[in-house]
Amino acid sequence: MLLSPRAQAHRDGADTRRPRTARSRGLASALLASAVSVCLVAAGAPPTPLGVGDRLFPHLGNPGYDVASYDLALTYSGNNTKPLQAVTTIDGWTTATLDRINLDFAHGDVQSVEVDGEAADFATAGEDLVITPADPLPRGDWMRVTVRHTSDPVSAEGRDGGWLRTADGLAMANQADAAHLVFPCNDHPSDKAMFTVRVTAPNGYTAVANGLPTDVDRAGRATTWTYRTLHPMATELAQVSIGRSAVLRREGPHGLPVRDVVPTKDREVLEPWLKKTPDQIAWMESKVGPYPFETYGVLVADTVTGFELETQTLSLFEKGLFTEPAYPEWYVESIMVHELAHQWFGNSVSPRTWSDLWLNEGHATWYEALYAQERKAERTLEARMKAAYGASDRWRTAGGPPGAPKPPASGQKIGIFRANVYDGAALVLFALREEIGEEAFDRLERTWLTDHRDASASTADFVRLAGQVAGRDLGSFFQHWLYDEKTPPMPGHPEWKPVAPAVEAAE
């Protein structure tokens, strides 16, 4: 994700425009009421929300199973304020004996649940859908859970994310903890899975999802579009775009299919930006190695988000980034590269927990800054890092050190996406490069991506690999840089100092 400098003002603006109704709260209490009655029928302890122990989001994800694949079937009415009808089918393995199966799901009405084809009881607890199968599932068993539900595209009050309503339909923005506002899932990047997405929409709409199209089936007044991923994906990176869209195809390096999805009426004005993508992919490949997925492209949403998001194989951008004349060309391009870089850092290699977010955003910011420097931005990478050093202590105070970010504050939409994990974390990578040298740093980046491709990896994994590549233990170096309250001295730049806000503003 990248929050732009324009984010705050736009977010405030978006708030006043977004309709808020009591409807979703009513829905939640209706679910709660049905939960109570189901709970009384199912004997035993009351259903409780579970999690996988993420320090920042204690109730995200669920123990006891490993999802292999999701099949999402969504039916869109043509009205983006009406709930979509949906069937979510989850195939996976149990990793423990399960009396109950917890899924994360919080913003739709559940109509029925089946486990291995048999009707199962269900209840809601917190943001979990708690399912009680007729018989407990043994450990190591293959299971299929089918949930018929609605998916509400209108945000609940104070709970943004999930569906994003655009001028002509819908898109998705699930990072970090909002995929389960769209569909029932194990909503944590430590459990990646394959995805098939089927969208049925009235003729005249175009639906696009992660991965490649496998089928388009027109029947009467509606068309069903099917997409499948060729690589596992975290739920936070799912993307479904439904709109009056044009799908523009071009070729990337060594035949990679590049596919952009834009509002049909804006295709000409966007084309000068879109045609830059193949060269940007080639540039990233020259730095870190082959592009990790089956396709890439830019999804332009006609709405105000205040952020861009690296949804897998199809990054989400708000239209204003490309149409606001005040942004210099290098700036817009560097933001495109930020989201592109996430396809390697964050998507192909996912964070094991959300405290590892600095690995996502630090790397995306690093390549964004490097690209900007090569595109003749006003500042070199080193100048940008020196400025970051000046602000770093304040960022650590506000958001925690990069390796231990503070939890999201309630009511604050910025969540865990603060400066400490962007330029504050790129600064850690800069310090690392100064410490181990450019050659070792480059080898570390490439080895990291090949070692953990299509998987999730942790900060400890990165620290260990960096030590192996450098040929010496870097534990103490990372301990200070990732977890100290104050920023350590910059290797090779003892003259860099924290800067008071007034001085910085005057620069």
Chain contacts with Zn ion (rule: CB under 5 A): 1-2, 361, 364
Q: Is the dihedral of CA 230, 291, 458, 395 positive or negative?
A: negative
Nearer to Zn ion, 1 or 84 (CB): 1
Nearer to Zn ion, 200 or 347 (CB): 347
User: Angle 357-374/329-344 helices, nearest 10 degrees?
Assistant: 140
CA dihedral 449, 454, 457, 461 (to 10 degrees): -40
* Element holding 147 (H helix, E strand): strand 142-151
* Minimum separation from the CB atom of position 106 to Zn ion (A): 24
* Element holding 336 (H helix, E strand): helix 329-344
* Minimum separation from the CB atom of position 445 to Zn ion (A): 17
* Minimum separation from the CB atom of position 368 to Zn ion (A): 8
Nearer to Zn ion, 340 or 474 (CB): 340
* Minimum separation from the CB atom of position 361 to Zn ion (A): 5
Nearer to Zn ion, 71 or 445 (CB): 445
User: By CB neighbour count within 10 A (0-12 exposed, 13-18 middle, 19+ buried), where does 289 fall?
Assistant: middle
* Minimum separation from the CB atom of position 195 to Zn ion (A): 21
Q: Which residue has the tokens 């496998």?
A: 214
Are 137 and 66 spatial neighbours (Cβ–Cβ below 8 Å)?
no
* Minimum separation from the CB atom of position 414 to Zn ion (A): 13
* Minimum separation from the CB atom of position 415 to Zn ion (A): 13
Nearer to Zn ion, 184 or 189 (CB): 189
Spell 196-230 as b/e; 16+ CB within 10 A means b.
bbbbbbeeebbbbbbbbeeeeeeeeebbbbbbbbe
User: By CB neighbour count within 10 A (0-12 exposed, 13-18 middle, 19+ buried), where does 54 fall?
Assistant: buried
Residue 91: phi and psi, rounded to 5, are -105, 135
* C-alpha span between 395 and 389 (Å, rounded): 10
* Minimum separation from the CB atom of position 430 to Zn ion (A): 17
Are 448 and 505 spatial neighbours (Cβ–Cβ below 8 Å)?
no
Nearer to Zn ion, 175 or 226 (CB): 175
User: By CB neighbour count within 10 A (0-12 exposed, 13-18 middle, 19+ buried), where does 246 fall?
Assistant: middle
Nearer to Zn ion, 2 or 444 (CB): 2
Q: How many helices (H) and strands (E) does the chain have?
A: 13, 23
Nearer to Zn ion, 2 or 470 (CB): 2
Nearer to Zn ion, 364 or 426 (CB): 364
* Minimum separation from the CB atom of position 1 to Zn ion (A): 5
- Lookup: tokens for 314: 């199809």
Spell 4-13 as b/e; 16+ CB within 10 A means b.
bebbeebbee
